[in-house]
Amino acid sequence: MTSFVTHMVLSLLGSVMPGSTSDGSGRTFWMPESASTQAPFVDHVFDFINVICYIFLVLITIVLVYFAIRYRRKKGEVNFSGDGPVHSTPLELTWTMVPMLLVVAIFYLGMVGYLDLRRSPSNAYEISVTAQKWSWSFDHPEFAVNQAGEVYVPLGRPVEFLMTSADVLHSCFVPAFRVKQDVVPGRYSRLWFEATKPGTYQLYCTEYCGRDHSKMLALVHVLPEDEFKAAMGKLATEYMDLPEHDLPAYALDRLYNRCASCHSLDGSMVVGPSFQGLWERTVKGETVFTNGEKLSSLIGPGKEFETPEDYLRNSILDPQHLIVQNYAGAMPSFQGQLKERQITALILMMKYLDRMVNEEGIPIESPDLNELDGGDGSESPADDAGTEAGTGQSKDNGE
Amino acid sequence: MNEMTTLETGQHEQPRLVDDNYLTHSRGLLSWILTLDHKRIGLMYLVSVLGAFFMGGVFALLVRTQLLTPQGTIMEQDQYNQAFTLHGAIMVFLVIIPSVPASLGNFVLPIMLGAKDVAFPRLNLFSYYLWVIGALFFVLALFTGGLDTGWTFYTPYSTDTNSAMGGVIPALTAVFVLGFASIFTGMNFMVTIHRLRPPGMTWFRMPLFLWSIYATAVIQVLATPVLGITLVLLIVERAFGIGIFDPALGGDPVLYQHFFWFYSHPAVYIMILPAMGIISELIAVHSHRHIFGYKFIAWSSVAIAVFSFLVWGHHMFTSGQSALVTVIFSAITFSVAIPSAVKVFNWLATMYKGHISWNTPMLYGMGFLFIFTIGGLTGLHLGTLATDVHLHDTYFVVAHFHYVMMGSALLAFIGGIHHWWPKMTGRMYNENAGRFAWFLVFVGFNVTFMSQFMLGSQGMPRRYATYEGLQENIFQFYHIISTCGSYIMALGFFITGIYLLLSLFNGRRAPTNPWGGRSLEWQCSSPPPHDNFSEQPAVGDCYDFTVLEWSEQEQGYVWRSDVPRPEKEADQSSSEGSH
């Protein structure tokens, strides 16, 4: 009954307020679209509290304004009568007890909803989530698939995020599901939901985590079970079957979003060095590190890195080993998040970046990468790439 | 009885500015910076706190301006992160926590007790200089790399030297030092209230402002050391890599949150309790009506102080603490709602059959009732577990705590400044300008923060420098409203500053008792003499206003000639309280 009245009031309010729709999305004046099994209960509790708030606020305001006007001091009043009671124990006990009963009811409702949010069903589909500055990575153990910046989840089936952080505190928040849970380094936290509507929903980081906190976003795509399985199958194998010359484009399209918050494509200095011209700098060995060493003294037969590719691979897997001068060394390791062939794809992307994006870092429509197969010069040692790809594949199989 | 008569005649025959008051008692810069006079220290605090308020306000306007468009208007991410951090840190540690107790409390508390000064005047001055040192450390933090951790200094971000900016250790030192300023002030006030109450002023005859200052002092003394030691641990971890909170070093980041909120939740009551004390005075005095339910209000202050220590976990409902702990903290949190509600009802009942003056202090008082009601009621959404999970760390929380900390605590402070301005400066401000500025502040405040409730419940997270590239497209609508509100509010504060400053030069001379208050500060001249009272005054019921009447000649209230003054008790011990 209460929630019926609330909804009446809300829809009246909502019809004159922005952001309200009547498309059955569950969006109201107060709440965003709702798309999980838990959301309706949370919304009902919210509405119930709102009704109590409206009643008290309206009553208090009316009394306040009425008293202020009714008992306004009259002009010329020189002394004051001692009218009105100084205290009244029954009255004061009443307005102590009534709020007390109300809050007990509110507390109980909130507790019931909360315990439901904390207790995940045993048959939940599990996704391992790693948060790091400033991106989200999602692992599907069941399909050996890793996604970054977006995640596919099945419709109508409980999904559980098993989350940890690689660096500082983060928090995973999906408003449409009404769920939120901090992601803490050094421990695992859980969050579960069951999506009720296919679609794409925003996921936010809601625990302040530094410079690009406001860009630490991701999308949750809710897919019907069969579409979900098909999508997973495609993700699991797509880069394995790609020919060599498609790998850079694959990396730019599917992998670069992990790097984008720190490494630009247009040459601008962000948190890390730009990818523009990175390959040339690496080959020439111009890069200087915080320990004073120059890259040229580290690359070559018998030195720390045999080839420039070895250096780049190491920078992805062990970024704290060598930190480029003038940068803070903020990069987390991607060990275990990227398969060897994906690392190869990223290195190839850096190598041929100038053919895939223009000066402003905007992708070129149909880049000409055919010569990759030919191996026409010293700049593209197809052998190296091939070897790496080969080891990568064997490692993948081992995992 | 002889002196008593002197005091009485003194009151009646000195409508003009007393030549020898605390402002003119001694001259020269040294007489101020080395003063032990609680009134001068209170005034120095007031000026300093308002200076910090201005700085914090500038950062607030920068933050609001940035958020006008989804991609941000005037700042890079880094700059925005610093702006909201400094806004929060300055407003909490430099402004709101010391605002009422250290400035108005310092000025009024000893006079309300009929005492010459606080119990430990030197310690009082020392507290002030600790505040100054703390403020300087904040400035140092700005010049040593800046501060972008948020005012909460959450680990491991704050201990991670790679990411958090270099100003963390100076800023932590600042908060540590400010903590001691707060502890010393609290201790001083506790001792003063225990030892220097005048004969006849039993605990339940104290003005309610003193009750709330006393409850605040207890929290300051008991909770602040926990914050101090936590920050030292954080400094040790950041400087020497000793693992306490950073999991990479074997520490626990959630432990930091427990320590931090064990202080910082009670700190919320350090902010709001003195404000409630002011409101009790404002509503009673300007309604010219005995406060309703004195004992309930007094006890609810104590109850809030006690409960405040038991609810810190409600800041951590989504932190990963166990479900059982979370449920228990939620239950205890609701218990704080009761004494707060009781106070609101009692204040409303005080207005019943009153004679309400619609002057600036009372407008701030009535505005407080409206704003605090909203602040308190929206606390229900956040104390409730199921809804807090959705609302935590969104703008709903931002709106809620601004309604409590800014709209309630800070606006009560501004109301208190108006209430005691004639007493402190000996001048009346322009009442019409005051009403107009209050209107701007009140409207601006509600426009700014009401819209943030919707912003938050729709899902907008806190501490976002930009909100572009989202699925959600209604955030900008509310952000624009909110920013417009903040400009209106800023204009209101600007006008307030102007007319208060002008009143110092051309304001009407303040009478001894311009409002008709009965507590003791309204019985010594405006501004008070150096020693406050030449003889300890006798105390009656400080909320019985029927003994006063308006005097055209004084332009203020005087004791009714047909009512006898309260007698001093014969068995008064000679020395106690006269210091």
A125-132 and A158-165: which strand pairing? parallel
C-alpha to C-alpha distances, B475 to A145, B461, B466, B480, nearest whole angstrom? 34, 10, 11, 9
Q: Which segment of A380-394, B33-47, B92-106, B562-576 scores lowest on mean pLDDT?
A: A380-394
Judge: B464–A214 Cβ closer than 8 Å, yes or no: yes
Q: What is the mean pLDDT of chain B?
A: 89
B/e letters for A55-78, b = 16+ CB within 10 Å, e = fewer, are ebbeebeebbeebbeebebeeeee
For residue B32, give how far its alpha carbon lies from the nearest alpha carbon of chain A (Å): 40
- CA closest to B319 among chain A residues: A182
Residues A78 and B552: their CA atoms lie apart, in Å, by 9
Q: Which residues pair with A192 in a beta bridge?
A: A160
Q: At what angle do helices B38-66 and B475-506 cross, to 10 degrees?
A: 150
Q: Which long-range contacts (CB under 8 A, 24 or more apart) does B466-471 make?
A: B466/A214, B466/A215, B466/B70, B466/B71, B466/B72, B466/B77, B467/A214, B467/B67, B467/B70, B468/B70, B468/B71, B469/A215, B469/A217, B469/B70, B470/A202, B470/A217, B470/B70, B471/A200, B471/A201, B471/A202, B471/A219
Of B156, B330, B392, the CB nearest to A168: B156
> In this predicted structure, what is the pLDDT of residue A263?
87
Q: Which residue has the higher pLDDT, A201 or A288?
A: A201
Judged by CB atoms closer than 8 Å, whether chains meet at A79 and B289 is answered as no
Domains and CATH numbers, chain A: 2-68+88-118 (no CATH), 125-234 (2.60.40.420), 242-392 (1.10.760.10)
Q: Which among A112, A173, A211 is the nearest to B81, CB-wise?
A: A211
Collapsed DSSP state (helix, strand, coil) of residue A190: strand
Distance CA A127, CA A142 (A): 9
List of chain A residues whose C-beta atoms are within 8 Å of the C-beta of residue B345: 92, 95
Residue partners of B361: CB distance under 8 A and separation at least 6: B282, B285, B286, B415, B416, B418, B419, B515
Please indicate whether residue B172 or residue A18 has the higher confidence score (pLDDT): B172
A74 to chain B: nearest residue by CA? B355
Domain coordinates in residue numbering, chain B: 2-559
Inform me whether the pLDDT recorded for B19 exceeds 70. no
Rounded to whole angstroms, how far apart are CA atoms A128 and A306? 35
**pLDDT per residue as tens digits for the range A280-304:** 888 888 888 888 888 888 888 888 8
Mean pLDDT, chain A, rounded, equals: 82
pLDDT value of position A375: 42
Contact status of B299 with chain A (Cβ, < 8 Å):
no
What is the least distance, in Å, from the CA of B293 to any CA of chain A? 4
Phi, psi dihedrals of residue B100, rounded to the nearest 5° = -75, -55
**Does the pLDDT at position A395 exceed 50?**
no
For residue B514, the one-letter residue type is: P
Question: Quick one: residue A56, left, alpha or beta (phi over 0 = left, psi -120 to 50 = alpha)?
Answer: alpha
Largest CA distance in chain A: 103
For testing contact with chain B, the best of A17, A31, A33, A49 (most B CBs within 10 A): A49
* B509 in A contact zone (CB under 8 Å): no
Contact residues, chain A, for B545 at CB < 8 Å: 80, 82
Among B162, B357, B386, beta carbon nearest to A45: B386
Query: Does any CB of chain A come closer than 8 Å to the CB of residue B204?
Result: no
d(CA B367, CA B370): 5
Cβ–Cβ below 8 Å for A72 and B356 = yes
Domain B2-559 has CATH 1.20.210.10: yes
- For residues B139 and A81, which has the higher predicted lDDT (pLDDT)? B139
Cβ pair A190, A120 in contact under 8 A: yes
**Mean of pLDDT values over A2-14:** 47
Query: Scanning every residue of chain B, which has its alpha carbon at the shortest distance from the alpha carbon of A261?
Result: B77
pLDDT at A24: 64
The pLDDT of residue A371: 56
Check: CB of residue A285 under 8 Å from CB of residue A299. Answer: yes
Name the CA dihedral angle for B118, B122, B127, B130, rounded to a multiple of 10 degrees: 170
Q: Residue B23 above 60 pLDDT?
A: yes
Q: Please indicate whether, in this complex, the C-beta atoms of B319 and A178 are within 8 angstroms of each other.
A: no
How much is the average pLDDT of B304-331? Answer: 91
Write down the pLDDT at residue B568. Answer: 64
Q: Pick the range with the lowest mean pLDDT from A127-141, B155-169, B179-193, B233-247.
A: B155-169
Averaged pLDDT for residues B329-351: 91
Over residues B110-146, the pLDDT tens digits come to 999 989 999 999 999 999 999 999 999 999 998 888 8
List Cβ neighbours of B465 (8 Å cut-off, separation of 6 or more): A213, A214, B66, B72, B75, B76, B77, B80, B81
Tell me the chain B residues in contact with residue A84 when contact means C-beta distances shorter than 8 Å: 289-290, 292, 352-354
Please give the single-letter amino acid code of residue B46: L
Inform me whether the pLDDT recorded for A9 exceeds 90. no
Q: What is the pLDDT of residue A338?
A: 80
Q: Is B70 on the interface with A (CB under 8 A)?
A: no
Residue with the bigger pLDDT between A120 and B96: it is: B96
ipTM: 0.89
pLDDT in tens, A338-389: 888 888 888 888 888 888 888 777 777 766 665 554 444 444 444 444 444 3
- Between residues B158 and B13, the one the model is more confident about: B158
Task: List the single residue in A18, A60, A189 with the smallest CB-CB distance to B348.
Answer: A60
Span A138-159, average pLDDT: 90
The percentage of residues in chain B with a pLDDT greater than 90, rounded to a whole number, is: 69
Buried b (16+ CB within 10 A) or exposed e, A92-130: beebbeebeebbeebbebbbebbeebbebeeebbbbbbb
How many Å lie between the alpha carbon of B277 and the closest alpha carbon of chain A?
18
How much is the average pLDDT of A150-158?
94
Q: Which residues in chain B have their CB less than 8 angstroms from residue A72's CB?
A: 356, 358
Residue A6 in this model has a pLDDT that exceeds 50:
no
3-state class (DSSP) for residue A217:
strand
Partners of residue A94 in chain B, C-beta under 8 Å: none
Rounded Cα gap, residues A240 and A392, in angstroms = 10
- Give the confidence band of A305 by pLDDT, cuts at 50, 70, 90: confident
Q: B318 in contact with A at a CB cutoff of 8 Å?
A: yes
pLDDT at B291: 93
A-B CB pairs within 8 A amount to: 298
Check B358 against A73: CB less than 8 A apart: yes
Above 80 in pLDDT, residue A394?
no
Residue B316 identity (one-letter amino acid) = M
Which pLDDT belongs to residue B358? 93
